[in-house]
Each structure stands twice: as structure tokens, then as C-alpha cells.
Amino acid sequence: MILTLNVALLLAVIIYFRIGRLGRFQSKASQWTNVFIVLVLGVLIAPTEFGQAILAVLGNVVQSISASAGP
């Protein structure tokens, strides 16, 4: 578990620096690399308590939006 969190933290730092370059032109390969890194980060965070808390919050937000837009 500790290894997963450390790898997730490393990926978050990499994403931060790669997104900082988004103002400049990026090749398709660079864009796909960004997508892949973000997906791997999501997979690493999902089973943790933090990931489950994010999922619960997003679920509540979606549920409240659906209830307010009801029939």
C-alpha cells in the first residue's frame, strides 16, 4: 500500500509538470503519453481510501444534480 501511494505521488508530480507545458504545441505522442499517465494514476488511486472518498463525493454530487433536474 505504501508503495502504491508513493508511485501515485510520483505520477501526480509528473502530471503537474507535463500539464504546465500544455500552452505549448504538443505532438500526438506527447498527448497520448499524458492520457496514459493520468489513467495509470487513476488506477493507482482508485483502491485507496482517498480514491474511495473521491468516488463517494462525486457520486453524491451526481445524485444531487440528477435529483434537482428530475421530472
Chain segment 31-42, per-residue pLDDT in tens: 788 888 888 888
In the chain, how many H helices and how many E strands? 3, 0
Q: CB–CB of 8/41 below 8 Å?
A: yes
Tell me what pLDDT residue 30 has. 80
pLDDT digits (tens, 9 = 90+) for 7-66: 777 888 888 888 776 666 778 788 788 888 888 888 878 888 888 888 888 888 888 888
Query: How many domains does the chain divide into?
Result: 1
**pTM for this prediction:** 0.58
Burial class of 54 by CB neighbour count within 10 A (0 to 12, 13 to 18, 19+): middle
